[in-house]
Structure 1
Amino acid sequence: MSIKSNIMRRHDLDWLRVIVFGLLIFYHVGMFFVPWGFHIKNDIIYPEIRWPMLFLNQWRLPILFVISGMGTYYALSKRSGGQFAKERIQRLLLPLVVGMLFIVPPQVYFERLDKGHFSGGYFEFWPSQAFIGVYPEGNFSWHHLWFLPYLLLFSLVLLPALLYLRNHPESWLLKKTAVLASRPFGLFWLIIPLYIWESLLEPFFPSTHALWGDWFNIVNYITLFFFGFLLISVKEVFWKTVLKNRRKYLYCGVLGFTLLIGLRQLYSDSTLIHFIEALFKVFNLWAWILALFGYAAGYLNKPSKTLSYANEAVYPFYILHQTFTIAIGYYLMHLPWSFWSKFLLMSLGTFGFSWLVYEIGIRRWKVMRPMFGMKPKQTEKSVKSGNLVP
């Protein structure tokens, strides 16, 4: 069944995607300085910056999967199931392979140098050592590109259900979603499955991003992806509600994050505390997601040349950025500089080198564009919300 798309373009979704992936660069730079595990670490750790990073971490990935589900709705509105599957494989699998072969190995190389597991030049490491064994024991990895295989899996596994909902807009599920979305706090019923996953799955399946056996992340993120498709399917019902009630959701987010931090500071982990924390966590992340959609709808739903450029660049930037972050961090980690000196240099360097490679080595070259998930230049007049998310 072919459906002609009369869907109005949502520039706010484009802006949110660009902003959230921009924050990802700052987040990964921050990982260099906090006590949490990362590939390389600064000589001095700054525990206090984990609080703003924890704030971002609560909703950053969940909103990306919600936006991805929304983008899937746009993509399916003008493609058959087969065309959609082919496009997703081309625009997710090819960049993943390219990234694992050429972009991720330098990250592993610098980590092996830092930990004393390898010595020598990069081309002594790649390719002879780069693909021996699976990380962390070995060197072959997708590192920060884990988002791509997860998104590909969700897109293909859910495709029959998404096609059914696309072809049956009067289905019970979409009608129920519209009812929930029409009420200021009706959308908070959607945290019920998120709470079940957080309270019952998360303790037994810690996050690995390895796909195989990573059951909590798979179930949690595929749920958020599906929510995105449902919410965008009810169109203006959803957008009017989040726009009108954005301040309420903001207050809920502030309350939820305060409760979450307070609980972690005041009580030791236990079974009861885990169930309470899980509730605070899903309430908090969902409130921030709804607030962000509301404020974006109010202030960002307008086109601009900056948005057009950034929306096209965001996918290559995502693929490239962590390699530059780790490379720069490796040469700064032992210097007696302040936190802000290193943080700013790493942030500016990551953005700058990513932009340089994108502008000179990717955007202008027909053969390079598909390797980084970009559409052929001659057929692309603008980057739409229905295009690949990231």
Structure 2
Amino acid sequence: MGVEGRGERLWFLDWLRVIAVFGVFVFHTLRPFDDGDWHVKNAQTSEGISIGIAFLGLWGLAFFFMISGSAAWLALRWRSALEFLRERSLRLLVPFFVAYVLLSPLQYFIEEHHKGRSTASFFGDVRTFFSDLAGDAPLWLRDTYHLWFLVYLIQFAVLGLPVFLFLRGRTDWIARRFERRGSILLLAVPLVPIHLLLLAAPGPEHGWGEFVFFFDFFVVGYLVMSDDRLLAAVRRDAVPGLILGAGAFVLGVVTGIIDFLDGWWPDPGYSWQYVWYSPLITLAVWGWLVAVLGLGLRAPALQRALPPRLARAAMPYFIVHQPIILAIAYFVVGWDAGIGLKYAVLLPTAFAASALLAWLLSSTPVVNQLFGVKR
């Protein structure tokens, strides 16, 4: 079923969520071929793919979190605070633990063997994986792989709840600030100093700086949905948002942001370069979010009902796609062939296998609820 609000079904959010899941899939199929480190890597990499990864990585995940914040507003329209937390637990916490137990050991086995760090059997690596699960905050567990997204969302639901309850009925002042064309882009301004201060904070991958960065857009997603005037402003300013997002990204690429990110992401820290790139990142992300959400509001095709099977398979697809990509890439990157041929095999094969498994999981009673499908 589609999400509901204001007496109508907001199908565009369902469509955007499915599109976002597919975007994450494409992002992960490209990772074996970019210049950065990943679980399975091809010997030959591509600078062009690295630019594409930087582009998708800058705003794609933030968009995913913003859509999740929008869904939180819809969930709270018809639920109490306790009902909201219970629903989030069933939709996020249960599938996370199921997927962590079943799929993270498989990904660990693939990565350790690909990088030559282990020659043990699968079950030997499984025992090693479960021998010590402790990880650094805010993930709390080690080797969550792509499931870190669910760990963030679980915590965002808890931390965001008091913010959401406070915002109820208090958005009039905010909405009146963005009545002029292009003004919704100024919503990024208060985020710039926050991200400038925290995004470079030292810590592990997916640490507190990134946590705050994505939490901000999660809250913004709720805020935009909570007032018709803000939603209308996003729809109105889709084109200015596209100009801002594309312009900030191009400016970043021209001034060397790709090389900066290659050396900065593994070991974040403060520098004069970071002072330049951090505001660009925030502005580029917000511009693209406004553009994509605004175009989603405008596109007639996205105002139609999402096929129920597609809607039900979205969460299972997200959960299973990366282990399947790693399993196929483990063999594909070893071929004596160019990147183009390898990718031409990896993309459709991983998509078909992920879609088939997601359909089976979403169609099987009881099992589907373990993988986050609504009753």
* TM superposition score normalised by structure 1: 0.85
- Cα offset for 1:140? 5.3
Q: Which residue of 1 aligns with 2:166?
A: 164
Q: After superposition, give the CA deviation of every residue in 1:110-138 in whole Å (9 maximum; x if it has no partner).
A: 11112223224423433x2331224899x
Q: Which residue of 1 aligns with 2:132?
A: 133
Tell me if the contact between 2:104 and 2:143 (Cα under 8 Å) persists in the aligned partners: yes
172, 189, 193: which one aligns with 1:192: 189
Please give the secondary structure, in 2, of the residue aligned with 1:32: helix
Please give the secondary structure, in 2, of the residue aligned with 1:301: helix
- Cα offset for 1:199? 1.7
Please give the secondary structure, in 2, of the residue aligned with 1:104: helix
CA distance in 1, matches of 2:362, 2:311: 12
Q: Which residue of 2 aligns with 1:88?
A: 88
Tell me if the contact between 2:178 and 2:233 (Cα under 8 Å) persists in the aligned partners: yes
Q: Which residue of 2 aligns with 1:328?
A: 328
Q: Which residue of 2 aligns with 1:177?
A: 174
CA distance in 1, matches of 2:11, 2:225: 14
Tell me if the contact between 1:312 and 1:374 (Cα under 8 Å) persists in the aligned partners: yes
CA RMSD of aligned residues (A): 2.4
217, 221, 228: which one aligns with 2:221: 228
CA distance in 2, matches of 1:266, 1:23: 20
Q: Which residue of 2 aligns with 1:243?
A: 235
CA distance in 2, matches of 1:231, 1:32: 36
Q: Which residue of 1 aligns with 2:372?
A: 373
210, 221, 233: which one aligns with 1:217: 210
- Cα offset for 1:266? 11
Q: Which has the higher contact order (CA 8 A, sep 6+)?
A: 1
2:187 partner letter: L
1:147 aligns with 2:149: yes
Change (3 A) 1:55 1:318: same
- Cα offset for 1:46? 1.7
201, 204, 219: which one aligns with 1:204: 201
- Give structure 1 stretches of 5+ with no counterpart: 377-390
CA distance in 2, matches of 1:271, 1:5: 45
CA distance in 2, matches of 1:140, 1:281: 27
1:1-390 to structure 2, matched below 5 A, reads 6-126=6-126, 128-134=127-133, 141-166=143-168, 169=169, 171=170, 174-205=171-202, 208-209=205-206, 214-235=207-228, 237-264=229-256, 271-299=271-299, 300-306=301-307, 308-360=308-360, 362-376=361-375
CA distance in 1, matches of 2:306, 2:35: 40
Please give the secondary structure, in 2, of the residue aligned with 1:181: coil
* Larger deviation, residues 98-107 vs 241-250: 241-250
CA distance in 2, matches of 1:207, 1:198: 17
Q: After superposition, give the CA deviation of every residue in 1:2-61 in whole Å (9 maximum; x if it has no partner).
A: xx9644322211111111110111111111011111011012122221112211111101
* Larger deviation, residues 79-88 vs 291-300: 291-300
Change (3 A) 1:57 1:5: closer
CA distance in 1, matches of 2:237, 2:358: 39
Q: After superposition, give the CA deviation of every residue in 1:51-97 in whole Å (9 maximum; x if it has no partner).
A: 12211111101111111111000000001111111111111111111
CA distance in 1, matches of 2:11, 2:204: 32
Please give the secondary structure, in 2, of the residue aligned with 1:294: helix
CA distance in 2, matches of 1:135, 1:295: 42
Tell me if the contact between 1:112 and 1:118 (Cα under 8 Å) persists in the aligned partners: yes
Tell me if the contact between 1:114 and 1:330 (Cα under 8 Å) persists in the aligned partners: yes
1:221 partner letter: F
- Cα offset for 1:332? 1.3
CA distance in 1, matches of 2:37, 2:348: 23
Identical aligned residues as a percent:
26
For these two proteins, the number of residue pairs brought into alignment is 359
CA distance in 2, matches of 1:295, 1:344: 29
1:147 partner letter: F
- Give structure 2 stretches of 5+ with no counterpart: 265-269
Please give the secondary structure, in 2, of the residue aligned with 1:24: helix
Q: After superposition, give the CA deviation of every residue in 1:138-170 in whole Å (9 maximum; x if it has no partner).
A: x9521100111111111112212312333xx1x
1:43 partner letter: A
CA distance in 2, matches of 1:51, 1:5: 38
CA distance in 2, matches of 1:190, 1:245: 12
CA distance in 1, matches of 2:222, 2:345: 39
Q: Which residue of 1 aligns with 2:267?
A: none
CA distance in 1, matches of 2:31, 2:218: 26
Tell me if the contact between 1:89 and 1:152 (Cα under 8 Å) persists in the aligned partners: yes
Change (3 A) 1:309 1:303: farther
CA distance in 2, matches of 1:331, 1:359: 25
Tell me if the contact between 2:42 and 2:333 (Cα under 8 Å) persists in the aligned partners: yes
